[in-house]
Amino acid sequence: MEPIKIILLLLAGYIVLTIDKKKKLFPGPPVLVLIGIGLSFIGYFASLHIGKEILYEIFLPSLLFISAYRFPPAALKKNAGMIGFLSTAGLLITALLLGTAIYYFANLFVSISFLGSLMIAAILTPTDPVSVISILKEASSDPRVSEIVEGESMINDGTSFVLFTVLTGMFARGESFSVLSFAKDFLFVSLGGIFLGLICGWIVSKAVHVTERKDYQVMLSIILSYGIFYAAELAGVSGVLATVSAGIMLSWEFTHTNKEDHYLESLDSFWGIIEPTIISLVFLMIGIEVTSHLAIDQWGIAFVIFAMSILIRFAVIHGTVLALPKERKLFGWRESSIISWAGIKGTMSVVLLLILDAAQTTRADMIISLTFTAVILSLIIQSSTIYPLSKVLIKK
């Protein structure tokens, strides 16, 4: 990308992210996407392209690390049951139910295999609540709703990526879906990434105190966020889960040291600038990129897929609430509805779509078009309505 174009995109991002100081009138990411769609029709910006390498290898490790190290260990411990189930077994159940529903519905109009339907479901399962967390925190006096949404999103990125990777491997090899083969690959890639991330996160949490220099400590966090990501990928395990696990371990370790505030203050001063910069570029580029992939003649099918993803997510979330005694006492259908609606599709879904697109197989064209359209519908509809919906359903 040309430097002047990057600066202009950052200027647009700055204007959007600062114009609504309380983040009530409109959440930034969907507005950035709409601006990006508009820019795609301007010749000067139409040539911009964000490949999977830039999004996956450069932007994603930072976003994953930021969300992981910032998430309070106390909140993770308090909501461990709900977050743990929704981001692992709950995600797999959601993907299976959604994939089955897509298969039977979509084949009334187009031809999609069951494995292809599962791939669409896998792409739609990761959530990106960056645009709604502040709204949820303000709408309710109980912080657990926003904690569950944020914690689930942090972990389900990794789970969904592993799920997608295993399914696309089967798809590329022309295999039919096999439960045994899927379970073996899924467990190896996910558990391997988690283990590697926890070990490296613990090592860095000890090594950071070798120096008192803040700039060197921040440098070490950069090495961790990207180093563990690439190391896991080279080892054949999940770089996404490794980065998230390393960030969580780092955060947990520093709750047990007297130097926690000093180090976290250093991290926040650096990563606090990086995050909005990346978010601005990513969502603007998503808007520019998505224009060529939208299923203009199949909006109806894409909208039904989007609607089914919300309904099935609600069923799994509310079923989890009813199954967990502690959550059943605290949450009802209102909270389940908000958590479901806050499960917006975003960065990770687009990463998965770009990876699939880079495979350059015409068999995936229908999957890419329908899913890209469903992702954009999610970003725009859910983000723009979460504030009034939360004010109605959640009482302070």
pLDDT-flagged residues of the chain (< 70): 1, 20-26, 131-132, 134-135, 138-142, 174-178, 257-262, 295, 360-362, 395-396
User: Given this model, what pLDDT does residue 170 score?
Assistant: 78
User: Given this model, what pLDDT does residue 62 score?
Assistant: 92
pLDDT in tens, 117-168: 999 999 999 988 776 676 677 666 667 888 888 889 888 888 888 889 888 8
Q: How many Cα atoms within 13 Å fall on the side-chain side of residue 356?
A: 31
User: Given this model, what pLDDT does residue 18 score?
Assistant: 83
Q: Provide the mean pLDDT of the chain.
A: 85
Q: How many Cα atoms within 13 Å fall on the side-chain side of residue 281?
A: 21
Q: For residue 291, give the CATH number of its domain.
A: 1.20.1530.20
User: Given this model, what pLDDT does residue 374 score?
Assistant: 93
Q: Which of 149, 97, 125 has the alpha carbon at shortest distance from 312?
A: 97
What is the CB neighbour count within 10 angstroms for residue 359? 13
> Degrees (nearest 5) of the Cα angle 327, 395, 387?
100
pLDDT in tens, 251-302: 887 777 655 556 777 888 899 889 889 988 988 988 888 887 776 778 899 9
Do residues 345 and 379 lie in contact, with contact meaning Cβ atoms separated by under 8 Å? Answer: yes
Ranges of H-type helices in the chain: 3-19, 28-39, 43-46, 52, 60-70, 73-78, 80-87, 89-106, 114-124, 133-139, 144-172, 179-207, 214-235, 239-254, 260-290, 299-323, 325-330, 333-341, 347-358, 365-393
User: Given this model, what pLDDT does residue 314 score?
Assistant: 95
**What are φ and ψ of residue 99, in 5° steps?**
-60, -40
User: Given this model, what pLDDT does residue 355 score?
Assistant: 87
Count how many domains the chain has.
1
User: Given this model, what pLDDT does residue 361 score?
Assistant: 65
User: Given this model, what pLDDT does residue 294 score?
Assistant: 77
User: Given this model, what pLDDT does residue 48 score?
Assistant: 81
Q: pTM (2 decimals)?
A: 0.87
| Structural domain that includes position 390 | 3-394
